[in-house]
């Protein structure tokens, strides 16, 4: 039996701050097609952020669109879901 990975629309919200402006939180939104539940594109993007961008991530929120509203905080303060 061959299992074919199914891509789904995934959106992330990254709340971050720059080292020079630690009291100013900023948001970055990104939506992409990715494979549930491993999300390799999002993991690659977050690794790139960690290695190349001088901004500290405060919260990462993941939203999956597969006919069900799923929102999950994967890093940072836990939101009510």
pLDDT one digit per residue (tens) for the chain, 81 residues: 888 888 888 999 999 999 999 899 999 999 999 988 888 999 999 999 999 999 999 888 888 876 555 556 666 654 333
Q: Structure pTM?
A: 0.77
Q: What pairing do the DSSP bridges indicate for beta strands 21-35 and 7-18?
A: antiparallel
Question: How far apart (Å, rounded) are the C-alpha atoms in residues 74 and 76?
Answer: 7
Question: How far apart (Å, rounded) are the C-alpha atoms in residues 39 and 62?
Answer: 10
Q: What pairing do the DSSP bridges indicate for beta strands 21-35 and 56-65?
A: unpaired
């Amino acid at each position: 039996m061959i299992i074919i990975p199914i891509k789904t629309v995934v959106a992330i919200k990254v709340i971050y701050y720059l080292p020079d402006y630690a009291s100013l939180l900023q948001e970055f939104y990104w939506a992409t097609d990715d494979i549930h539940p491993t999300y390799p594109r999002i993991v690659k993007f977050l690794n790139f952020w960690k290695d190349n961008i001088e901004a500290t991530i405060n919260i990462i929120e993941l939203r999956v669109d597969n006919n069900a509203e799923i929102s999950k905080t994967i890093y940072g303060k836990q939101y009510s879901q």
